Amino acid sequence: MDTYQALFLALVQGLTEFLPVSSSAHLVIPSLLLDWTDQGLAFDVAVHVGTLVAVLLYYREDLLRMTDRWLRSLAGAPACDDSRLVWYLGLATIPAGLVGLLAGGFIEANLRTLPVVATTTLLFGVLLGVADRRGTAAALGRPLGLTMAILIGCAQMLALVPGVSRSGVTMTAALMLGMDRQSSARFSFLLSIPIIASAGLLKAWELAEDDAAVDWVSLGLGATASGLAAYCCIAIFLRLLNKVGFMPFVYYRIVLAAILYTFWLV
């Protein structure tokens, strides 16, 4: 993989990891147009590290406060929203983690196809639009509770299917459950931390058992580019979310699905 390819794929991964548009749907296009081969396990680990560092840095103050309140609650202090949120994030991660361990190989081998990616891109884009209209019609967003967190975590399981979009399906579920746009996005991004970390550790474990040569320059470039792109993406997305809503991403996904269907049918 040359430097240009590494930079391009890292930027695509960083930008699409947190936007509700599906990174897998975007990464399939270069392979179709340019006949690029798979970027490899080591590069996957690198871009996972980059996006994980980005979300950790962006929410560093929230995470430090949540950790402090959670540890205090374990020591006997009264529970609060921050300490409960730590439990919510942990419990909401379990469903996707279990499905990933039990069915990840099957999904990777059988569902990473162009018609599947195109269909899920379209279907879950439309569902996001329905959820956004529902959220706009609601006067006030509902506060996050344990049941809501677990249901959002169950929705995250669907993101294992290529084209669904992890951030997209979790935000859709949160909106459907009555949360407002900002709260939906914040919980989705915080929920990405344990799932990205788990996926990165799993890939790193597989990489440790692989004797293939490692291109450290491409890996460093990939991690840096994906991290910078992801950090900027989170900041801009949250700043514009209340102004533009999710509909631009819905329209974008419909167009993207049409392009993918065209590649499949031609």
Task: Give the model's pLDDT for residue 136.
Answer: 64
Asked if residue 24 has pLDDT above 80, the reply is no
Find the largest Cα–Cα distance for the chain. 64
What does the mean pLDDT of the chain come to? Answer: 88
In the chain, the percentage of residues whose pLDDT exceeds 70 is 89
Least confident of 132-136, 189-193, 226-230, 254-258: 132-136
Average pLDDT over residues 55-69: 97
Alpha helices in the chain (DSSP H): 3-16, 23-33, 41-58, 60-74, 81-110, 114-137, 146-157, 166-176, 181-208, 216-244, 247-265
Token digits of residue 110: 């059988």
Cβ(129)–Cβ(150) below 8 Å:
no
Q: Which of these ranges, 42-46, 141-145, 158-162, 240-244, has the smallest mean pLDDT?
A: 42-46
Count of residues making up the chain: 266
Tell me the pTM: 0.90
